[in-house]
Structure 1
Amino acid sequence: MGKTGIRTANKVSFDKPASEQPSLHFVDINTRTDGIQIPPPKVPFSGTIKNGETVKIECVDWTGGQIGNNDSADDMLNVDLTKIHYLSGPFEVEDAQPGDLLLVEIMDVQPFEDQPWGFTGVFDKNNGGGFLDELYPTAAKAIWDFEGIYCTSRHIPGVKFAGLIHPGILGCAPSAEVLDTWNAREGELIAANKLDRDVAKPPEPINVHAGAANAELKEKVGKEGARTIPGRPEHGGNCDIKNLSRGSKVYLPVHVPGAKFSVGDLHFS
């Protein structure tokens, strides 16, 4: 029997808000009930991937579609930073068990054929800001059009460079014990922070999106689920490594049955 086409394990829609798509989430979907880790299937997987299977996974941009391909920076000015880092998943990987290493091989990363563009954004100092907001306090945006390995921008004429598309976030969900460790460790870090910068984001129920979770579980995830700042060594997460692109292999610790693998936050750099 000949080879079949590559299966799409996750599809996204540009016709509905990311917050209404059950195959997306932006917190690690794990929590506790009476001190006991919630087992599958109460924590919903968005799909299943066979061990060794090659699949295609569609992702939305990190803002969930809040930034448009236009010439106004108003969307950067008003971006809702409680609705960011939408991830595709979590996927059940067949046979994956706690204590395993999940090998993820990135075969290719490409933009959507009908939307071959991305953006560079500067947050307004009064809405997120950045490391250089004292020099650049005003929201700004540049749209970049992809042409093969190159990109150009109508907003920055004369500039053309080659880059790689790569996921900024990929990882497996924490166990309840690992999640407790994160929350304790990062709570201490936040309490000791004397900088005018976020060093970690604690659990935050505002605008939480937990995929296909029901209302009760969504509330628990909002109170306990990990946000994506900072990156964490126990599971991968928000690492923004440019060279994790086509041809890369990533080894991720598995903490829960099925691994609960998620990916998103695509970059071009």
Structure 2
Amino acid sequence: MPELIFPLDSTKKFTDQKYLGHNRWHPEVPANVHVKPGDTFRMDCREWFDGAIVNDDSADDILNAPLNTVHVLSGPVAVEGAQPGDLLVVDILDVGPIPQEDSGPLAGQGWGYTGIFAKEHGGGFLTDQFPDAYKVIWDFTGGVATSRHVPGVSFVGIVHPGLMGTAPSAELLARWNTREAALIATDPNRVPPLALPPEPDSAILGTLPQSEYARVAAEAARTAPPRENGGNQDIKNFTKGSRVFYPVFVEGANLSMGDLHFSQGDGEITFCGAIEMGGFIDLRVDIIKGGMETYGVSENAIFMPGTTDPQFSEWLAFSGTSVTLDGEQRYLDSHLSYQRACLHAIDYLTKFGWSPEQAYMILGAAPIEGRLSGVVDIPNSCSTVYLPTSIFDIDIRPSSSGPAQIDPGMGVPRSSF
């Protein structure tokens, strides 16, 4: 096993650990640990809400989730010799749930969860159709996920970090804040909001001196969206065996990571839509000097996917076009066409006995594939969502005998508020 350089004790809160991580992006968040090019090491990671979501049959914890606290990230890790303009090479050697802890109160101890946020708390990809808070618990057995809340479905985990990235420079951070503030200003009262501005409340900034805390907390960027530094990209194929090339914006690169997922469908469409968990990640790092200019990677990481993903041979695919539910034509709106494809898949699965909420959770957590299938044929873009048929206990293909029926069980817990 690689050396564990960022340990987390499951009996303690994230803020009470040996090393204090962070939940905001800022160039002045100090590095917790230091490594050299070529080093191999292990990082423990806490589930993104630090244990606020529990293994029960209520969604009230999703409704009341402490959104200002996320994501709790492990790091930063400074890499000796990394300078602005370099590319940081990161190999994912292994990633998984909390080792040797297959039961307990924390997500990652033999279980994980998928949630749908209420619309007023951020919603999801289909928030207008699913405006309330819901939660599904998944159990892990031999690398396979099953759920008492979504019967009739099982699948091998496609474990990956939802979030990894390097620290922004002061200049890059300022660009983020300026452009996102301008977007918010176009509709400041929108529900859900258009973007999340810096929020000093609940900011965790590692070992930053207290004298600098107020200033940095007021500037530091939230970790919710992906940006030029990588960040919360939620790419399901970013698995064991992947190699990623991150732009370096500060001395040491200051690499951080978290938001581990046991599995996820393309798009993480319920927002809290993967199977969220804590766990570990084993990494190896190197540097390509001057790589940003050499390879034209001035923003947004590039990566080579791993080769350990579950392999499926049969799929059932659904398409959607850029026409709203009430018949309004939109011009090449791929976001809308993927929504419509997902809604078509959800409608289809309800014919077999799953509730709309159960079907939505399947699309968020199972390893579905989403594709932009046509983006040039005016006025309609075409998006498609592919469901691997083998994850279902019944045959979901259309046939003359009609859809088989499953027992939906207790269903998906919904917030009581």
Which residue among 210, 228, 238 is the counterpart of 2:205?
A: 210
CA contact (8 A) 1:209 1:218 kept: no
Q: Deviations over 1:188-207 (max 9, x none)?
A: 22223486433322111011
TM-score by length of structure 1 reads 0.87
TM-score by length of structure 2 reads 0.57
1:23 Cα deviation from its structure 2 partner: 2.7
Q: Which range moved further: 116-125 or 195-204?
A: 195-204
Letter in 1 for 2:257: V
Partner of 2:171: 177
CA contact (8 A) 1:96 1:257 kept: yes
Matched, 1:262 2:259: no
Matched, 1:190 2:184: yes
1:127 Cα deviation from its structure 2 partner: 3.4
CA contact (8 A) 2:138 2:147 kept: yes
Q: Deviations over 1:68-112 (max 9, x none)?
A: 122222211211111111110011111111111000111111101
Take 1:138 and 1:150, find their aligned partners in 2: how far apart are those partners?
28
CA contact (8 A) 1:10 1:23 kept: no
Q: Which range moved further: 72-81 or 54-63?
A: 72-81
Partner of 2:110: 116
Ranges in structure 2 where 5+ consecutive residues have no aligned partner: 102-108, 265-417
Partner of 1:160: 154
CA contact (8 A) 1:18 1:65 kept: no
Take 1:230 and 1:125, find their aligned partners in 2: how far apart are those partners?
17
CA contact (8 A) 1:90 1:261 kept: yes
Which residue among 2, 5, 10 is the counterpart of 2:6?
A: 10
Question: Structure 1 runs of 4+ off > 6 angstroms?
Answer: none
Letter in 1 for 2:91: E
Q: Deviations over 1:139-187 (max 9, x none)?
A: 2211111223321112222210123111111110011111111111222
SS at match of 1:189: helix
Q: 1:1-269 residue pairs with structure 2 within 5 A?
A: 5-21=1-17, 22-31=19-28, 43-112=29-98, 113-114=100-101, 115-193=109-187, 196-233=191-228, 235-267=229-261, 268-269=263-264
Letter in 2 for 1:223: A
Q: Which range moved further: 257-266 or 15-24?
A: 15-24
Q: Deviations over 1:6-46 (max 9, x none)?
A: 10121112222224444321101325xxxxxxxxxxx4211
SS at match of 1:92: strand
1:125 Cα deviation from its structure 2 partner: 3.5
Take 1:167 and 1:111, find their aligned partners in 2: how far apart are those partners?
11
Take 2:45 and 2:143, find their aligned partners in 1: how far apart are those partners?
19
Take 2:148 and 2:140, find their aligned partners in 1: how far apart are those partners?
12
CA contact (8 A) 1:201 1:228 kept: no
Take 2:130 and 2:214, find their aligned partners in 1: how far apart are those partners?
37
Take 2:78 and 2:60, find their aligned partners in 1: how far apart are those partners?
39
Q: Which range moved further: 147-156 or 162-171?
A: 147-156
Take 2:213 and 2:12, find their aligned partners in 1: how far apart are those partners?
20
CA contact (8 A) 2:122 2:191 kept: no
Take 2:194 and 2:121, find their aligned partners in 1: how far apart are those partners?
17
Structure with greater helix share of residues:
2
1:232 Cα deviation from its structure 2 partner: 0.9
Partner of 1:36: none
Take 1:193 and 1:30, find their aligned partners in 2: how far apart are those partners?
29
Count of residue pairs brought into register by the alignment: 253
Greater relative CO, 1 or 2 (CA 8 Å, sep 6+): 1
CA contact (8 A) 1:210 1:218 kept: yes
Q: Which range moved further: 101-110 or 180-189?
A: 180-189
Q: CA RMSD in A?
A: 1.8
Take 1:77 and 1:215, find their aligned partners in 2: how far apart are those partners?
32
SS at match of 1:247: coil
1:126 Cα deviation from its structure 2 partner: 4.1
